[in-house]
Amino acid sequence: MLSKPALNPNFAGNIIDLIVIGTSVSQILLNVYMFMSVKSTLEALLQLPFQFADFSTLAKFSRAITYLSGFNVFVAWIKIFKYTNFNKTMQILSGTLSTCAKGCGRIVLRVFVQILIYLQKILNIKNSIKKM
């Protein structure tokens, strides 16, 4: 007996799985196309070294791959959050953060001071070089 998709609790999970698979396959195909296209374009340009190289289409594909990667990571995080129990997890996280808040604050302050000291040294070196 087939269950109705609206009543199946795993229906949303299956859709998310299909989205991840679809974006992953499209990323793989775009990467393969870009690899082949760059290889053929560079081979042609090596024959004509003084001709203008137009890589605008490759840049567009690269941007599309970047957007697909970001979307894929976002959807994967949705899948991860689906399996976490927020009540218990957030209670444990809140307790852990409240017990170590003072220590974390001290460490952050020390690192911030060290970075400021390092930046001041860099600025002193640059100013001493400019005076020479």
Reported as a single tens digit per residue, the pLDDT across 17-29 is 888 899 999 999 9
User: Can you tell me which residue has the tokens 């299909």?
Assistant: 18
pTM of the model: 0.52
Instruction: Give the residue ranges of the chain where pLDDT is below 50.
Output: none
DSSP state of 113: H
Can you list the alpha helix ranges (DSSP code H) found in 48-85? Answer: 56-82
User: From CA 87, how far away is CA 27, in angstroms rounded?
Assistant: 36
Supply the pLDDT for residue 88: 75
Radius of gyration of the chain (CA): 26
User: From CA 55, how far away is CA 39, in angstroms rounded?
Assistant: 12
3-class SS at 116? helix
Residues 6+ apart with CB under 8 A from 38: 58
